[in-house]
Structure 1
Amino acid sequence: MKSIKIAAAVFIALALILVLLAAGCTQPASPSGSASSAPNGTVGILETAGVGPMPSLLATGQIDGYIAWQPVVEAGVESNIGQVAVYSKDLPPAGEWSDHPQNVFVVRKDFYAQNPDFVNDFSALNLAATQYINDHPQETAAIDADWLAGGQNFTYGNVSVSSVTVVNNSLPTIEFSNNPSDSWKASTSDFVQALINLGTVKGYVANSSNQDAVLYNFQPYTSATAILASKNVTKPAPVQNTVGVGYLLAVDHSALFVAVKDWQYFNDTYGIALKPEDLTAAKPAVADFLVNGQKIATVNLVPANAGPNLMQLAATNSIQMSYVGVPPAISAIDIGTPITIAYPIDNLGSGLVVANGAPAQDWQSFAAWAKERSDAGKPLVIAAPGKGSIQDVMIRSALQSSGIAVTEVKV
């Protein structure tokens, strides 16, 4: 594919006040310039601070679409801000993302070496929470809505939609599973290759003759499965230092939300619990990890804007465990961050949203629209949540596969 450079003029046009999922805000106008000579056109990628700004940017015409995790995909639809052009499972190359991994649970290697029983018990809680999500979707939706929006509506500018409705619509688009099967590992390898192709992975992972050994340690999953099967929880020694656990404000990380919010259920059913210190908080910041009623550790629950931010926290030992997207985890390991992937959290759950009425109902029509706009000298601008995030990798890979050039939109 011929390399194309497009001059882009970006103007600050509107100050946005965001009440959900936003920790920062970028506000570019759509770029203008000469038409691309690339065979299939050019698309500009705008990296935002997380997904929070995206619906408002789309509603005000500052971007033409966004690729995001749930619930922001369904929030755009429910609010009539946009329409889903394509869910991530249908992005090209054909079939590559049909059952793609989404998020994983990662652990710092040194922390696991020092606290294996604690990590195994915490993992048992994650596996139990996954089963809870699949068995109790309505209860999960209510818990998620409370955590993500304090039980109130999601609000984007002057548009407000029911958080419970949005989460209810989001959950069926996600497959919650912790099984690191051979097919799951093969799909993760697709992400590795996509990252290599994009030039962002070129270190330990890219050069390893045994990528599985570099990426994974499934012992926490194996131990957690045995704990739940035997109903016999090994009580770890108390952890002296506070444990940091990272996560995103995403439906994908529902396992954490239900474990904390319905802690009494898990305590009574499994003898493992993550009890919030403030039982009244919509989004607890600190919890006590309990095994058979005894406190084992104080856990700080640390939210971030996107996966790469979580991996920066892991690199500095600010968090010891994290729920995070597959590509950020791979990229972090590639540059030497001492973490390992312990097991999956979920699959699927991302989507490309475009403005209502846009001529894009699937990837083919989106690609045709991109070429039409590029030929007219007004390339599409698509927002992605941070360089190296799972959504950023997928949209870049899809565009590359379709022969569409990518430029960076800066502010």
Structure 2
Amino acid sequence: MKIMRITAGAFVALALVLIVITAGCTQSAGTSTSGTAAVPSTSAPNGTVGILETAGVGPMPSLLATGQIDGYIAWQPVVEAGVESNIGQIAVYSKDLPPAGEWSDHPQNVFVVRKDFYAANPDFVNDFSALNIAATQYINTHPQETAAIDAEWLAGGQNFTYGNVSVSSGTVVNNSLPTIEFSNNPSDSWKASTSDFVQALINLGTVKGFVANSTSQDAVLYNFQPYTSATAILASKNVPTPATIQSTVGIGYLNAVDHSALFVAVKNWQYFNDTYGIALKPEDLTKAKPDVADFIVNGQKVATVNLVPANAGPNLMQLAATNSIQLSYVGVPPAISAIDQGTPITIAYPIDNLGSGLVVANGAPAEDWRSFAAWAKARSDAGKPLVIAAPGKGSIQDVMIRSALQSSGITVTEVKV
């Protein structure tokens, strides 16, 4: 079901957002006549595209619906929300972005752990990792149930509403799940693809510290022991009961379908408790989006867990740096950048692959990357460069769109807010 509505409150909120954005954009060349913010033209042979970094993905559908941007690159469910609402069309899914073949099975999110927390609480982390792996198996075997859980968590079972854009959460999540590959296996091919992100970040000048200068990126980035221990726990069906943790444990996540493993584990806690002897039971069972849960192993509560949402991956890594969270589901590039900057975390295993996409306005002459690049050049030549929103500098989507534009000879400028 596709619905477009504007409530009084949403209209005021949207108007304020648009005033801030349009007033705050820095422009050194003329004003766009297409309704989008103008960016400077350059002599780049293949044109110029302006990147507008937003606070997460929430504003994107509204910005596209009101002509403030020409497109956006986002994670699910915001990609499919743009299509379901009839405000946008898919130009290209992330797997088909250039350079050719580089992102065909790209990592999306990983599970990261503060090193000091793992050293002090290995059994807790290993058991929690076993729960993650079991939840991933559940997602892959119960897609309809997962979609219902996601819709409940992300929208309380109601419509997704982005300013004046409102669409069925159930339909959007159902359309989103098949675009994501849920897997926890840190295979050699997965590591090779993660290395592509490292190189892209180095090329963009974002990574230039520990990771960039390391002679062994594997040693700097990874500790797969939680994954190895968790798979052994599930195989043996012998779950060790960790020592009780007196302090509250913080776990970070995004309101994204990519992080379904967390949502499934919490909302279906009784199933995992009965099947595996591990559960993340919400303290308030009536909440659509719980924020506090008990981690229970073999019937014993071992920790109180705060579930901490954020707007984008870099925000989660700031929380990890200050020890506000000890575990996190997060995008690969923010994790790499945080490690590069000295945040004492390690990547324990993957959460999912793929699941991002570039959405452009309905009717735009962009049905794949080649036609998008041609459109970008034509608009740039006409003095009206495209403006594409990305969810925060250093996010997965930001890195991929910048890398794709760079590989196509398109100059990137930044639209400031």
TM-score, normalised to structure 2's length? 0.92
Structure 1 contact 205–333 (Cα < 8 Å) conserved = yes
* Paired residue type of 2:358: L
Q: 2:307 aligns with which of 301, 311, 314?
A: 301
What is the identity, as a one-letter code, of the residue corresponding to 2:299?
Answer: G
Q: Which deviations, in whole Å up to 9, do the C-alpha atoms of 1:148-178 show, x marking residues without a partner?
A: 0010001233332110100000000000000
What is the CA distance between 1:37 and its match in structure 2? 1.5
Give the root-mean-square deviation of aligned CA atoms. Answer: 1.4
Q: Matches of 1:127 and 1:26 in 2, distance apart?
A: 41
- Comparing 316-325 with 28-37, greater Cα deviation is found at 28-37
Q: Is 1:394 aligned with 2:396?
A: no
CA distance in structure 2 between the partners assigned to 1:97 and 1:35 by the alignment? 29
Candidates 50, 64, 89, aligned match of 2:56:
50
Distance 1:161 1:33, change over 3 A: closer
The number of equivalent residue pairs is: 393
Do the aligned partners of 1:26 and 1:48 also contact (CA within 8 Å) in 2?
no
**Contact 1:195–1:393 under 8 Å retained in 2:** yes
Q: Is the CA contact 2:252–2:329 (under 8 Å) kept in the aligned structure 1? A: yes
Matched residue, 1:243: 249
1:238–1:17 Cα change, 3 Å: farther
Change (3 A) 1:287 1:157: same
Q: Which amino acid aligns with 1:403?
A: G
Indicate how the Cα distance of structure 1 residues 346 and 34 shifts in structure 2: closer, same or farther if over 3 A, else same. closer
Task: Give the conservation status (yes or no) of the 8 Å contact 1:44–1:382.
Answer: yes
Aligned to 2:4: none
- 8 Å CA contact 2:250–2:308 kept in 1: the answer is yes
- Structure 2 matches for 1:327-338, cutoff 5 A? 327-338=333-344
Structural mapping, 1:271-350, within 5 Å: 271-350=277-356
Amino acid at match of 2:244: P
Structure 2: gaps spanning 5 or more residues: 1-10, 26-34
Q: 2:6 corresponds to which residue?
A: none
Map 1:7-406 → 2, pairs under 5 A: 16-17=13-14, 26=21, 30-32=36-38, 35-406=41-412
Preserved contact between residue 26 and residue 53 of structure 1 (Cα < 8 Å) = no
Q: Report the equivalent of 1:3.
A: none
Q: Which letter does structure 2 place at the counterpart of 1:250?
A: A
SS at 2:397's partner residue? Answer: helix
Deviation for aligned residue 1:323: 0.1
Letter in 1 for 2:59: P
Q: TM-score, normalised by structure 1?
A: 0.94
Judge conservation of contact 1:245–1:322 (CA < 8 Å) in 2.
Answer: yes
Counterpart residue type for residue 208 of structure 1: S
Q: CA deviation at 1:33?
A: 6.0
Once the two structures are TM-superposed, the CA of residue 240 in structure 1 deviates from its matched residue by 1.1
- Post-superposition Cα deviations, 1:338-390, rounded to whole Å, max 9, x if no partner, equal 00000000000000000000000000000000000000000000000000000
Partner residue in 2 for 1:6: none
Q: Following the alignment from structure 2 to structure 1, what is the Cα–Cα distance between the partners of residues 300 and 53?
A: 44
Equivalent residue, structure 2, for 1:8 = none
- Shift of residue 289, structure 1, vs aligned partner: 0.1
Deviation at 1:32, TM superposition (A): 3.0
- Render the CA deviation track for 1:200-253: whole Å, top value 9, x for unaligned: 000000000000000000000000000000000000000111000000000000
| 8 Å contact kept, 1:36–1:375 | no
Give, as a single letter, the amino acid of the residue that structure 1 aligns with 2:346: T
Gaps of 5+ in 1: 1-13
Deviations 1:6-37 (A, max 9, x none): xxxxxxxx96449xxx9xx8456633366432
Contact 2:81 2:167 in 1 (8 A): yes
